[in-house]
């Protein structure tokens, strides 16, 4: 299959002194390219959105961020993102050398992280990085900190129960304390411990096996958080809950959705892998970004105003949480906002309250989108796509390995 020629990306502006620092280095390896790619690769079915008629209108809507100092100019982040994609297009003749960040950019997905070295903002300067994160605050979605959970987990690490009945006894005491205080982090921690603690005491589940990894070490936590609200429904890896977008449909390991009347809205996508080794073709972070974009497009098609799609990526010993939204045309903001250590032994239980806190933060983001979806669907609004449908793209560059002749 031939590589696809890219024709209609929003044109970048001429690079100024505060540009992204990328010169034309199309012959060089991309930074942090996937070193496991040792075969020949090509892009599968790169489809471009038919948006040329909207180009003038789109360029009037920009992602602008004020500098952190009052005397500093406003930064045009849209311009910097489009320039990054333009430079990436010059490197597409050698797909194996493209980093995950560049593969995502070809799909109009731009990755931002708190760590500037792993974020797209490594090309934008530190002051731009700081300004973006300062203006993109997710702290309002955090629940109240725990009161007792940290103490419980510390006690269990030092003086663990030795059988199932003693586990039940200890956890019932925790549950009583939590229901009295009504602290949501404590309540979920106590509930999770009631099913999670016996697994840790037994210590027989092999976390290297994906089924054990998910159903023994992740499921007790995820179920407690996301199945405690009647508006949220969950689905494990037994189907495709994202509407099919040509040329590829996706099957996430786990998703959270809401359903109003007969309209299903997927609001969270998760991928799980027991080891930290990525596929030799594309990483799970790239796969997650694609799936979140497809889910986001569905929400806009269903007239959900300003939705946010959430993502979870559990790999080996860590879980990362993501959000995706749009405030500018052809620019999907993909942010990793937290990373926590998972717990597989009693000595690692201290991390459980932090895991619960971060997943509750993710759930609170979901619930905001749920409220928007219910309101929009029930009111049956017409011709109200926020953001507008022409902001969306269907560009899809999927890396594949060439067969040997």
For residue 130, give Cα distances in angstroms to 85, 133, 368: 21, 5, 26
pLDDT tens-digit readout, 86-99 = 999 888 777 778 88
Point out which residues pair with 44 in neighbouring strands. Answer: 398
What pLDDT band is residue 385 in, cutting at 50, 70 and 90? Answer: low
Residue 63 carries which DSSP code? -
Which pLDDT value is given to residue 377?
83
Which pLDDT value is given to residue 204?
65
What pLDDT band is residue 10 in, cutting at 50, 70 and 90? Answer: very low
Which pLDDT value is given to residue 225?
97
Mean pLDDT, rounded, for 364-368: 96
What pLDDT band is residue 387 in, cutting at 50, 70 and 90? Answer: confident
DSSP states along 227-248: TSSTT-EEEESSS--SPPBTTB
CA-wise closest residue to 196 among 218, 227, 226: 218
What pLDDT band is residue 156 in, cutting at 50, 70 and 90? Answer: very high
% pLDDT > 90, the chain: 55
C-alpha 298/C-alpha 307 separation (Å) is 10
Does 193 have pLDDT greater than 50? yes
Which pLDDT value is given to residue 3?
38
Point out which residues pair with 113 in neighbouring strands. Answer: 336
Which pLDDT value is given to residue 296?
96
Q: Which residue ranges make up each domain of the chain? A: 40-48+56-137, 140-402
Does 16 have pLDDT greater than 80? no
Q: C-alpha angle with apex 388: 386 to 392, nearest 5 degrees?
A: 115
**Mean pLDDT across the chain:** 82
Does 375 have pLDDT greater than 60? yes
């Amino acid at each position: 299959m031939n590589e696809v020629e890219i024709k209609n990306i929003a044109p970048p502006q001429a690079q100024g002194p505060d540009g992204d620092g990328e010169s034309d280095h199309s012959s060089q390896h991309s930074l942090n390219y996937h070193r496991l790619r040792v075969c020949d690769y090509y892009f599968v079915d790169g489809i471009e959105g038919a948006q040329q008629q909207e180009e003038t209108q789109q360029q009037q809507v920009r992602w602008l961020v004020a500098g952190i100092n009052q005397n500093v100019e406003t930064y045009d982040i849209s311009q910097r993102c489009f320039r990054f994609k333009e430079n990436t297009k010059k490197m597409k003749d050698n797909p194996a050398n493209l980093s995950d960040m560049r593969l995502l950019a070809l799909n109009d997905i731009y990755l931002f992280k708190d760590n500037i070295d792993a974020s797209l903002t490594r090309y934008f300067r530190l002051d731009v990085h700081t300004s973006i994160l300062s203006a993109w605050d997710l702290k309002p979605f955090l629940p109240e900190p725990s009161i007792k959970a940290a103490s419980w987990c510390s006690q269990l690490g030092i003086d663990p129960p030795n059988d199932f009945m003693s586990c039940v006894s200890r956890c019932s005491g925790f549950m009583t304390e939590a229901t009295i205080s009504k602290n949501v982090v404590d309540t979920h921690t106590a509930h999770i411990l009631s099913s999670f603690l016996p697994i840790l005491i037994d210590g027989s589940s092999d976390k290297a096996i994906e089924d054990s990894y998910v159903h023994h070490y992740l499921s007790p936590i995820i179920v407690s958080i996301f199945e405690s609200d009647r508006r949220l429904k969950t689905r494990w890896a037994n189907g495709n809950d994202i509407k099919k977008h040509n040329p590829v449909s996706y099957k996430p390991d786990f998703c959270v959705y809401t359903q109003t009347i007969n309209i299903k809205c997927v609001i969270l996508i998760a991928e799980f892998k027991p080891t930290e080794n990525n596929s030799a073709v594309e990483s799970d972070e790239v796969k997650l970004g694609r799936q979140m974009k497809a889910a986001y497009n569905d929400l806009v098609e269903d007239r959900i105003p300003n939705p946010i799609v959430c993502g979870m990526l559990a790999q080996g010993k860590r879980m990362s949480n993501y959000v995706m939204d749009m405030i500018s045309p052809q620019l999907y903001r993909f942010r990793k906002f937290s990373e926590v250590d998972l717990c597989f032994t009693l000595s690692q239980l201290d991390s459980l309250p932090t895991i619960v806190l971060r997943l509750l933060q993710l759930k609170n983001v979901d619930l905001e989108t749920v409220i928007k979806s219910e309101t929009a669907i029930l009111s049956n609004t017409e011709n109200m796509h926020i953001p507008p449908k022409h902001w969306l793209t269907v560009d899809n560059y999927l890396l594949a390995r060439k067969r040997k002749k």
